[in-house]
Structure 1
Amino acid sequence: MRAKIALVPLVAVLALAGCASPGEPASEGEPVVDAPVGEDAPLYDLLPDEIKEAGVITMAGDTHPPYRTIEDDGSFTGIDPDMQAALAEQLGVEFEIVTSSGLDAMLTGMLSGRYDAFNGPVRATPEREADFDAVVWMTTRTSYVFPAERADDFPDSEAVCGQRVAGVVGSVTETQLQRLDDWCTGEGLEPTEFVGLEDTNSTILALNSGRADLVGTTQASAIDLLATQQDKYDYVMQTDEQGAGVDLLAMFMPKDSGLAEPMLAAFEAIFDSGRYAEIMAEYDIEDAQVEAPVLNPNTGG
């Protein structure tokens, strides 16, 4: 297992990500992989002609460790680039991440043709599957991160009730927080106050500045944050009783783009080869694995 990735702590990249306007690229890195090009790749022939001609799959992305972190040289590290490198070996074209801010801007950017895909973490829902094809490749449970010095205030996730929770607008965290609120009120406790922000860096800044009591984020992000700043933060996990369940996270592509079937095949190949499991283990998120990738789980393919 690798040392916990050479990631820049979340707050350290605020200067890089904070300059972006919603919908406008903040930075464009070099393609994240040097993939086998063209017909030598196993699944190249499945790609739509537009992607073959471009020679690249353009991914929307924001700063969201450990999925994506922008390094000082403008390159990206994290789960997303590693997964894309594995997929590129199957598809024979490079992946390039273009940084944008805000989920709505990234989804709109795909529909306008600015981006070919977005890998979240974003939840597959029937509403989103009306406009996008979704290849599910992992799950998540929501974690609530707080300053380590407040550990006595948060012995368990019940203590999140009545608190100010920062989260990314439109994210899986916002949905799970609504379920937690239902549980809180059912138990006679106060619901949370959601502090909706544009990206993960903004939520951490809100916590550090006292604007929020906790940050709601994916389990993988909580694990990464504690690994990079062990003595600064701690977290509690939302339970099944509190409505956590298991949300399915997916890579999204515009409907009828021609990318869904080749992308699903590429995911199936890296599942079969064991590379998918290796990447998940490298980031200590084996419990977020799915048995197999699934296309459009809510609408039947």
Structure 2
Amino acid sequence: MSISAISLRKPAIAALALAAVVGLTACGGSATAGSSATADAAKAPLFSQLPQDIQSAGTIKVASNVEYPPFESIDKDGKTIVGIDRELADAVEKQLGVTLAFDNIAFDAIIPGLASGRYSMGMSAMSDTKERQKQVSFLDYFKAGAGIMTTKANADKLKSLDDLCGTKVGIVKGTTEDADATAQSGKCEAAGKAPLAVTIYAGQNQAVLALQSERVDAFLVDSTSGSVVAAESNGELAMGKAYEEGYFGIVFPKESTQLMTAVQKAMEQIKADGSYEAILAKYKMDDHAVDTFTVNGATK
């Protein structure tokens, strides 16, 4: 090998040596940071009560359909999830010491996603019902109800479910309002009237657009979320009074007792320290607060 070749190789060898040192230092730094993060998580009040796999992962995968303000929606930046559920999740994270990572999916895919094990929790303004309890468990955290959204022009004509006979009605797939519409159609026919002409939509945004474009006359929706949408419609839409009351719940696979109990304790703690009511009050929803976080509190 020539002297020139040896000279040319020296910088390369030095660079490789430096890279190795930097690499070792970086690896050492990552390990320290990782150990520190794990130690910090373990200091959270309820970390030890989580299932071992979630402790190890440091994350709870949460299924959500991010189209239900004020519970969850996309912020103006087009990517950040905001709302009551996200803020409650942030508060719960501090108690559990793990991240609650939201995944935006179709509403009717939430329960199958929990059943398949893809997700450990669901937060999406989901009504607790006896029928759904056959597949999942609910931790009730919000007093809610269902109502009728219309255009302002139809608000005085379509006030009750009985007023909907013979009209075109929008429903979001997989919601309890689907069953409400079916039941009401039966009542209409029994009274000698035309049934509801129901159109099923994949999400709330699509149903609202259909109402605004007059493809449907009414939209059966959670009255809380509907009130927010109507208030932000510049007077175009109106939200009627709730025709049925119930609870929204955080959703868990039926066998996930340990995780649900840990989250229940976390919710109890953020209620005790005032965070729960403060979050609801921020969205002017504090009158919907529950006194206790009941498991499967629905009666029908």
> TM-score higher than 0.5 here?
yes
Hey, which of these two has a bigger chunk of helix by percent?
2
Contact kept? 1:142, 1:216, Cα under 8 Å: yes
Paired amino acid for 2:276? Y
Q: Secondary structure at the match of 2:127?
A: coil
Match of 1:101 in 2: 106
Of 78, 90, 97, 1:92 maps to 97
Residue 248 (str. 1) matches residue 251 (str. 2): no
Match of 1:176 in 2: 180
> Structure 2: how far apart are the matches of 1:278 and 1:53?
31
For the structure 1 residues 279 and 173, does the alpha-carbon distance in structure 2 shift closer, same or farther, using more than 3 Å as the test? farther
For the structure 1 residues 268 and 188, does the alpha-carbon distance in structure 2 shift closer, same or farther, using more than 3 Å as the test? farther
Of 111, 117, 126, 1:122 maps to 126
Identity level (%): 26
Q: Secondary structure at the match of 1:259?
A: helix
Q: Secondary structure at the match of 1:293?
A: coil
Of 50, 54, 57, 1:51 maps to 54
> Structure 2: how far apart are the matches of 1:288 and 1:62?
21
Q: Secondary structure at the match of 1:292?
A: coil
> Structure 2: how far apart are the matches of 1:176 and 1:184?
12
Paired amino acid for 1:223? S
1:176-215 equivalences in 2 (<5 Å): 176-181=180-185, 184=188, 189-215=193-219
For the structure 1 residues 191 and 236, does the alpha-carbon distance in structure 2 shift closer, same or farther, using more than 3 Å as the test? farther
Paired amino acid for 1:146? T
Q: Post-superposition shift, 1:272? A: 2.1
Contact kept? 1:80, 1:119, Cα under 8 Å: yes
Match of 2:163 in 1: 159
For residues 212-235 of structure 1, the C-alpha deviation after alignment (integer angstroms, 9 at most, x for no partner) is 111111111122112322312112
1:208-223 equivalences in 2 (<5 Å): 208-223=212-227
> Structure 1: how far apart are the matches of 2:202 and 2:232?
22
Cα-Cα RMSD: 2.6
Paired amino acid for 2:125? P
Gaps of 5+ in 1: 1-35
For residues 182-213 of structure 1, the C-alpha deviation after alignment (integer angstroms, 9 at most, x for no partner) is 66567665442322221111211221232211
> Structure 2: how far apart are the matches of 1:69 and 1:266?
23
Contact kept? 2:157, 2:163, Cα under 8 Å: yes
> Structure 2: how far apart are the matches of 1:116 and 1:148?
40
Contact kept? 1:157, 1:237, Cα under 8 Å: no
Q: Post-superposition shift, 1:247? A: 2.0
Structure of greater Rg: 2
Q: Post-superposition shift, 1:262? A: 0.3
> Structure 1: how far apart are the matches of 2:261 and 2:144?
24
Contact kept? 1:157, 1:236, Cα under 8 Å: no
Paired amino acid for 1:269? Q
Match of 2:291 in 1: 291
Contact kept? 1:271, 1:292, Cα under 8 Å: no
Q: How many residues align?
A: 259
Of 116, 128, 137, 1:133 maps to 137
TM-score of the aligned structures, taking structure 2 as reference length: 0.77
Gaps of 5+ in 2: 1-38
Contact kept? 1:166, 1:214, Cα under 8 Å: yes
